[in-house]
Amino acid sequence: MNATATPSRAFLFARHGATDWNRDGRFQGRTDNPINDEGIAQAFAIARRLRRMHVDQIVTSPLLRAVKTAEIIAAASATPVAADDDLIAFNYGNLEGQGVTETMRAHGLKTVQDLVSILPPESEPWASVCERVLRCVCRRVADCPQGTVLFVSHDLMMQALSTKLCGRWFTNRYGTPYRFAPTDAGWVVDEIY
């Protein structure tokens, strides 16, 4: 993919509903945990926020927590859902299952963004993550030329996309859909109320 490629227009993105590992502050990555009761409520909250918008396609990570979130949103809007492997969660390698706060403390890290500096060798390279999520969004937006696409995936996928398009990470909350949009000053990401 061309390093400067960007999606042709705005799109929506939402983080999956929470799991027990999210609640416990553990690196989850590719471990295929389901959403918990709180996560189900968060998925319904996303559906409520999007009810005034027309969504033509929902594209989700193939992991259970994202698929269930997407299915709840889709049921409220009668929107088709498709899974895409390019939205799968980040591979944390041997950090999966470990505590995020404890890992940050052990390495003297101040921000979550700093975690990309201590990733184990068997994890997926951060640059590859950024490229794969951007490639997926560009392809899926192009495949739905007149419609609105909602992507349901994982926090780091959203942060990778924000890094590529907006040049920064952002505060990403459960139960909250976001809109990525091009402006004259560059791409922005805004919460949908």
> What average pLDDT does this structure show over 78-84?
97
Determine, yes or no, domain membership for 5. no
Domain coverage including residue 99: 11-191
Determine, yes or no, domain membership for 17. yes
Determine, yes or no, domain membership for 91. yes
Of 72, 71, 91, the closest CA to residue 82 belongs to 71
pLDDT of amino acid 5: 87
> What average pLDDT does this structure show over 13-22?
98
> What average pLDDT does this structure show over 71-79?
96
> What average pLDDT does this structure show over 49-73?
97
Of 71, 54, 55, the closest CA to residue 63 belongs to 71
Q: Residue 1: is its pLDDT beyond 70? A: no
Q: Residue 15: is its pLDDT beyond 70? A: yes
pLDDT tens by residue, 91-141: 999 999 999 999 999 999 999 999 999 999 999 999 999 999 999 999 999
| Portion of the chain with pLDDT greater than 90, in percent | 97
pLDDT of amino acid 4: 61
The helix (H) or strand (E) run that includes residue 150 is strand 149-153
Q: Which residues contact 85 (CB under 8 A, 6 or more apart)?
A: 62
Determine, yes or no, domain membership for 114. yes
pTM of the model: 0.95
Residue 80: Cβ-neighbour burial (10 angstroms; 0-12, 13-18, 19+): exposed
φ/ψ (deg, to 5) at 81: -120, 135
φ/ψ (deg, to 5) at 13: -145, 140
CB 77 within 8 A of CB 55: yes
Count up the domains in the chain and report the number.
1
Q: Which residues contact 19 (CB under 8 A, 6 or more apart)?
A: 28, 33, 34, 35, 36, 39, 65
Q: Residue 85: is its pLDDT beyond 60? A: yes
pLDDT of amino acid 33: 97
> What average pLDDT does this structure show over 57-76?
98
Give the chain's end-to-end CA distance (angstroms, integer): 33
> What average pLDDT does this structure show over 80-99?
97
Q: Residue 3: is its pLDDT beyond 80? A: no
Determine, yes or no, domain membership for 1. no
pLDDT of amino acid 93: 94
Cα 66 to its chain centre, rounded Å, is: 9
Q: What is the CATH number of the domain that holds 32?
A: 3.40.50.1240
Determine, yes or no, domain membership for 4. no
Determine, yes or no, domain membership for 121. yes
Q: Residue 22: is its pLDDT beyond 90? A: yes
